[in-house]
Structure 1
Amino acid sequence: MTSLELSVVVGYALLLCILSIYGSHRYAMAYLYYRHKYRLPTPKDRFEQLPRVTIQLPIFNEMYVTERLIGAVAKIDYPRELLEVQVLDDSTDETQGIARACVDRVRAEGLDIVYIHRTDRSGFKAGALENGLKTAMGEFVAVFDADFIPDPHFLRRTVDFFTDPKVGMVQARWGHLNRGYSLLTQVQAILLDGHFVIEHTARNRSGRFFNFNGTAGIWRREAIASGGGWQHDTLTEDLDLSYRTQMKGWQFVYVPQIVTPAELPVEMNAFKSQQHRWAKGSIQTALKVLPRLLDADLPREVKREAVMHLTANLAYLLMIPLAILLPITVVVRVSHGWYEVLFLDIPFFAAATFSVVAFYAASQREQGRTTWQQIKYLPMVMAIGIGLSVNQARAVVEALMGYETAFTRTPKHGVASAGESVTRKRYKAAVTFQPIVELALAAYMTYGVMYLIEREVYYSLPFLLLFQVGFGYVGLASVYEGLRGRVGRWVRVLSPQPSPE
């Protein structure tokens, strides 16, 4: 090897080593999950007199799902004299009228429900929640986003955990209303299952910190205040408050047996917008809370897990140079023997690639799915995870540079079944320059694939195909939706817009 070739291979190997650390962390999560799987959370006692609860429903331009949300909350089984509902509406469109009408109707049926509208949207969701707390009467506060459908027994099944005065928050598991809508929603469901089935359970039952997910949870109001209240200097106000509150000594409880279904984004650009916000917010939170957390009097394992949790998205920064180097290293190593493969590709596969397969297959197995159901979508889970790296790397860079952006709501359309069109739906995520970069990387990977096939060298082909398919699928889907959105706008202009159901 020349010195240039050697430097390329060494750089490639270093990237793989760092990425393998984050990949191996999935093994640690799976180990903790199975070790503590049967430590089921149970309430310390039961309230003799149920406490007063406030339910907050933050919404912003949610014309397709607002009525469904308020209708579901109106069915919650809890004494009406002890229940208060706040519809926190920052909307600027017809959602205002829909929400007001729903509130009036439900109030007439005997529920204590109020409509609170803001015009400035300062602080975005965190600002709306904080504003609602000024007039909230409840000792405990539950939060549901607009696309969620809470179970009627949600409060009955969660509130007794607060008989333990140390408990500050109880989080339920997210379900998926439209899992079968498309390949994209199937992949999203698996990604979320890994987080909610394995990670949350492992962290909570092993004594590590875990986070409120912004919805489908209930807080002790005192714990919110103790943690410093809702703050909006990060895009993940829920993650931020969770760490600040647990650092104050409050305990959180995760109850995966309580499932609150929600709508998954059905469009690639909406999914990317959501993932960008989560990735950027997690790095912002890491920069904000990790210095204090590492200096706090906390167990070493709690600190270690917090670092891995909050910095996980840094791995996406490494995926871009890895993608660039991968075809080059293929060309450099194609003339070398099998020991090169053993030294680089197989360890990477074991630590990074196989960890993804094992982790997400376990999340599906724990929900009772068959072996085929466990594995059939996993190649696309890995591919789309790679394809998102441009989107996520941009989010990480923005967070590290202190570049502030507004809280961008994920568009929801109230769809559940495959075949339901969203072309004429009003809400669309913005299309950026990213698809150009993603498609360029897909074309670049295609060169590497063709090079390997031409020389009949196949040992690195699976890795290149994952990158090629991932970047290609994410980029093409984004471009297609952008073009379809333009057509949809013309359709709405030329024909009447149907009223939301």
Structure 2
Amino acid sequence: MSVIAYLVFCIYTLALVYITVYCLMQFNLLYHYKRHKNREAVPLRPAPSPENELVLAGNAADDHYLAATDLSAAAPEEWPFVTVQLPIYNEMYVIERLIDNITSFDYPKDRFEIHILDDSTDETVEITRRKVEEYRAKGFNIEQIIRKDRQGFKAGALRDAMPYAKGDFMAIFDADFLPRPDFLKNTMPYFQDEEIGVVQTRWEHINEGYSLITKLQAIQLNVHFTVEQAGRMRGDYLLQFNGTAGVWRRQTIEDAGGWEADTLTEDLDLSIRAQLKGWKIRFLEQIGSPAELPAEMNSLKSQQFRWMKGGAETARKMLPTVWRSDLSLRQKIQATSHLLSSSVFLFVFITGVFSVPLLFLFGELMEVGVDSKYFAVFLIGLLSIIAVYYVANVEAIPQGESFAKSFFKFLFLFPLFLALSMGLSLHNSVAVIQGFLGKQSPFVRTPKFNIKNLRDSFSRNKYVIRKLSWTTVFEGLLALYFAGAVIGGIYLENTMFIFFHLMLALGYGTIFYFSLRHLSLK
């Protein structure tokens, strides 16, 4: 066997091992999610106890899942004072609906304030000013806070706004969110547990059915906001605040060192620091916060780049601290998997690229006893991830659909989701590598278009990205690369990789097509 064949085989196998371990770690979260799912009975608005105390839910005293007392049991003046922070940057299409939505909270007007942290450089500033004046005249405690510069981007805005905040609790919403009127009433009671520093709600999707792109995004986010977040909580692992649709205890932010802008995922960074200080994050799967998904490909890619690079930056920053901490070994291992989760795209990319030369070199490997059945062991990873996504998208979240419809929709969409994820692996790998190398880059916002249904369009939106990136060009070349591999496999009568290469060709081709199509919109 030649040195090249041996090297390709080893690199491909090591990448497969990494992906399989990642999938098994996800399955571990599914185990904890399912194990405790039926033992919880946490009502949204439980009846108050005479003592106005927390009520332990579940069948075992060690569950630590607390049902909160209804705030209506207390006099309005005793309700916690909340500062609602809305960090925005150039959100002219959605800022009005955001402010209208937040002012609809059924929480006493004198027990919350609204701070719009406005870093905008366009018409958004004037639109916001007018809405602030409108609601101030109606008796709302609302303020537009404008900084002289965008130093630190979102993290900087949140950090610099803290001295202006009067609340002991900070509810944070990005511009694309539309929380329900009872959001504060449903979340604030959980802070009666003094160990809880953060309450995070589940993201819902107001425009999931808009396009194939939004449907596939929803599949992935549903996993994070069921199996991953709830599984980590139930397994006593570290979890995270997701940057929006949640509430922080002010004391927790200050105790953890405050918002820091040295990563692109300031939310994950502060979450880890807070939990290492002993604070707990309470994830409320039963409370949804509707939001708008990116409706065009380049906006999705900008969001993915920020999440993937920020995740790598946070891993680089926090992993040494995690391993020096007093966490148990299993908590450290799961935290490592969590912080390194973006790295899986790098290994998906490596596996795809090296599978093509492996196809043509496999004859040499067979001469030394390597059989294609050798790779069957890695199917355990695929089966694990199928189980995770099935539970999250068919069982966990009520869809208002019959089981049969949800099941067959999943059967259709999941292979397309895998293909799309493979197609994003080059783009996301670049982000991960830059994050681990410490390369600095600006906070690239995800444009919001106010897309709610099929009648809405983003074609004339001024925030649509028009610049062709080098990664898009390479995505087109990789689509041809894997299409050629499909033809090569048929020619060699070796179909071992044919479905893998078909999905890679489809994934990269889809990413390339929509990236170009959405760039050319007028």
**Coarse TM-score class (shorter-chain normalised):** over 0.9
1:188-213 superposed Cα distances (whole Å, 9 cap, x missing partner): 00110010111000001221110000
The aligned residue for residue 79 of structure 1 is 108
Query: Is the CA contact (8 Å cut-off) linking 2:349 and 2:422 kept in structure 1?
Result: no
1:385 to 394, 409, 421: 421
Q: Is the 8 A contact 1:356 1:382 kept in 2?
A: no
- Aligned AA for 2:373? L
Structure 2 equivalent of residue 399 of structure 1: 435
Partner SS state of residue 66, structure 2: coil
| Aligned-partner Cα distance in 1 for 2:200–2:133 | 30
Counterpart selection for 1:211 from 229, 240, 261: 240
1:410 to 435, 441, 446: 446
Deviations along 1:10-63, whole A, 9 cap, x unmatched? 332222112211122221111111112233443455663211111011110001
Matched, 1:347 2:377: yes
Secondary structure at 2:371 match in 1 = helix
CA distance in 1, matches of 2:214, 2:70: 39
1:178-189 to structure 2, matched below 5 A, reads 178-189=207-218
Cα shift at 1:458: 3.0
Distance 1:265 1:4 in 2: 42
Residue 118 in 1 paired to residue 147 in 2? yes
Whether 1:444 and 2:481 are equivalent positions in the alignment is yes
Secondary structure of 1:63's counterpart equals coil
Separation in 2 of the partners of 1:7 and 1:126?
44
- Contact 1:43 1:164 survives alignment (8 Å): no
1:342 partner letter = K
Question: Hey, what does 2:8 align to over in structure 1?
Answer: 8
Residue number among 203, 227, 234 corresponding to 1:174 in the alignment: 203
8 Å CA contact 1:190, 1:364 repeated in 2: yes
Aligned mates of 1:96, 1:111 — CA distance in 2: 19
What letter corresponds to residue 514 of structure 2 in structure 1?
A
Q: Match of 2:340, SS?
A: helix
Distance 2:327 2:11 in 1: 36
Asked if the contact 1:434–1:475 (Cα under 8 Å) also holds between the matched residues in 2, the reply is no
Distance 2:487 2:106 in 1: 61
Letter in 1 for 2:8: V
Letter in 2 for 1:318: F
Judging changes above 3 Å, is the alpha-carbon distance between structure 1 residues 284 and 4 closer, same or farther for their aligned structure 2 residues? closer
Tell me the CA shift for residue 106 of structure 1.
1.4
Mapped contact 1:43–1:163 kept (Cα < 8 A): no
In 2: Cα distance, 1:287 partner to 1:428 partner:
32
Q: TM-score, with normalisation over the residues of structure 1? A: 0.93
**Residue number in structure 1 paired with 2:49:** none
Partner of 2:472: 435
Q: Distance in 1 between matches of 2:386 and 2:363?
A: 27
In the alignment, what sits opposite 1:62?
A: 91
Aligned counterpart, 1:21:
21
Q: CA offset at residue 421 of structure 1? A: 2.2
User: Which runs of 5 or more structure 2 residues have no equivalent in the other structure?
Assistant: 43-64
Please report the RMSD computed on the Cα atoms of aligned residues, expressed in angstroms. 1.8
Out of 366, 372, 386, the position equivalent to 2:408 is: 372
Tell me how far 1:156 sits from its aligned partner.
0.4
CA distance in structure 2 between the aligned counterparts of 1:403 and 1:455, rounded to whole angstroms: 43
Q: Aligned-pair distance for 1:7?
A: 3.1
Within the candidate set 252, 263, 274, 1:223 is matched to: 252
Q: Residue type of the partner of 1:184?
A: I
Does 2:502 align with 1:465? yes
> Could you report, residue by residue, the CA deviation over 1:363-417 in whole angstroms, capped at 9, with x for unpaired residues?
0121245211222100111111111111111111111221111111101100111
Identical pairs, percent: 38
Choose 363-372 or 220-229, whichever is displaced more: 363-372
Unpaired runs of at least 5, structure 1: 489-501
TM-score by length of structure 2 reads 0.89
Q: Deviations over 1:107-161 (max 9, x none)?
A: 1122111111123111111111122211111111100110000110000011111
Distance 1:200 1:469 in 2: 30
Task: Give the aligned residue type for 2:419.
Answer: A
Cα offset, 1:66, TM superposition: 0.4
What are the within-5 Å matches in structure 2 for residues 298-317 of structure 1? 298-317=327-346
CA distance in 2, matches of 1:278, 1:205: 24
Shift of 1:419: 4.8
Contact 1:246 1:252 in 2 (8 A): yes
Equivalent position amino acid for 2:331 in 1: V
Instruction: Map 1:315-330; keep pairs closer than 5 Å.
Output: 315-330=344-359
AA aligned to 2:208 is R
- Whether the 8 Å CA contact 1:435–1:476 is kept in 2: the answer is no
